[in-house]
Amino acid sequence: MLNIAICDDDTAFSSQIEDIILSQCDEKKINAEIEVFTDGYYLLKSFKQGMSYNIIFLDIEMEKLDGLATAREIRKIDSSVLIIYISGFDDYLKELFEVEPFRFISKPLDKDRLIRYFDEAYKRVQDNEEYFQFSFNKELKKCPLRDIVYFESNNRTIYIHLYDGTTTYFYGKLKDVEEKLEGSKFVFLRPHQSYYVNYHYIKKLNFYYITLGFRDKDIELKISADRQKAIKAAVLELAANKMSV
C-alpha cells in the first residue's frame, strides 16, 4: 500500500493533484490510498494518531500552520517520508533545505512535471522499501514491513495483521520471524510469546498491556509478566532516541 497525503488550503488545487495521482496509480496498477488535508495541524494530528505516509504533497503558504512549520514537526516524527513542496513563490529555497525537500512544485500546476516527480518518488519508495517474505502453498509472498502492525502466533500458524485491516498467514515459528527481521530499520518488539509488534504503531502501554493504534482503532495486547520490565525499558529507550534525532 502506497500512502499519500496532500496538504493544501486551496481545495481546488488539492483536487487537481489528487485526480492526477489517482489516474497515474490506476494506470500503473499501484495500490494507493490518498488523504487530503486543508491545514498542517490536521496532517500532524494524523501522524500523532499513528498514521504514516510514503509521499506528502505539502503547500508552503497556508494560513493557520504553514508548510515549513508543519514539515519541521513531521521531521521529528518521520525522517524518511518524501515531501514534495508546493508554492506559488520561489522565496523558500533556503528554508526548505532544513526540512529535506524531495522535489518542489510551483503554482500553477504543471501536470507533466507532477507526473514525473510522482514517478521518481514512487521509485524511491520502492527502492527503500523493506519486505517480509514468506511462503504459503508453495507460493512466495511478501508484505512491506511498514504495513505490518503485528505478527500473531497460534498453533504454529503466524498471522500477519496489516495496516489496511486485512490479515494473511503462513505456517512457522515467531522465533524465526524475529531472526529474519534482526537488523531491519523497522523495530519490532516481543511483548508476549504470541505477539511480535511494530514499534511504529505502539500508541501506549502500561505494565500489563500494550496498545497499538492504526486507522482510528486500537488493539490491546497482553504483555507477559516476565517481559514487562524489558518491554517498558525498550519502548522508553526507543522514544528517547527518536526525540533526540
pLDDT tens, position by position, 152-168:
999 999 999 998 889 99
Q: Is 186 helix (H, G, I), strand (E, B) or coil?
A: coil
pTM, entire model? 0.65
Domains and CATH numbers, the chain: 2-128 (3.40.50.2300), 132-244 (2.40.50.1020)
Write out pLDDT tens, residues 118-140: 999 999 888 888 889 998 887 88
Amino acid at 33: E
Per the CB < 8 A criterion, the answer to whether 164 and 147 are in contact is yes
Q: What is the grid cell recorded at 199? A: 514499534
Per the CB < 8 A criterion, the answer to whether 62 and 69 are in contact is no
Residue 236 has pLDDT above 90, yes or no: no
- In angstroms, the CA 117 to CA 122 distance is 9
**What is the enclosing helix (H) or strand (E) of 135?**
strand 131-136
Q: Is 1 helix (H, G, I), strand (E, B) or coil?
A: coil
Nearest by Cα to 57 from 76, 45, 43: 43
Residue 89 has pLDDT above 70, yes or no: no
- In angstroms, the CA 45 to CA 51 distance is 9
- In angstroms, the CA 34 to CA 21 distance is 9
Supply angle C-alpha 170, 227, 177, rounded to 5. 20
- In angstroms, the CA 178 to CA 151 distance is 10
- In angstroms, the CA 181 to CA 144 distance is 12
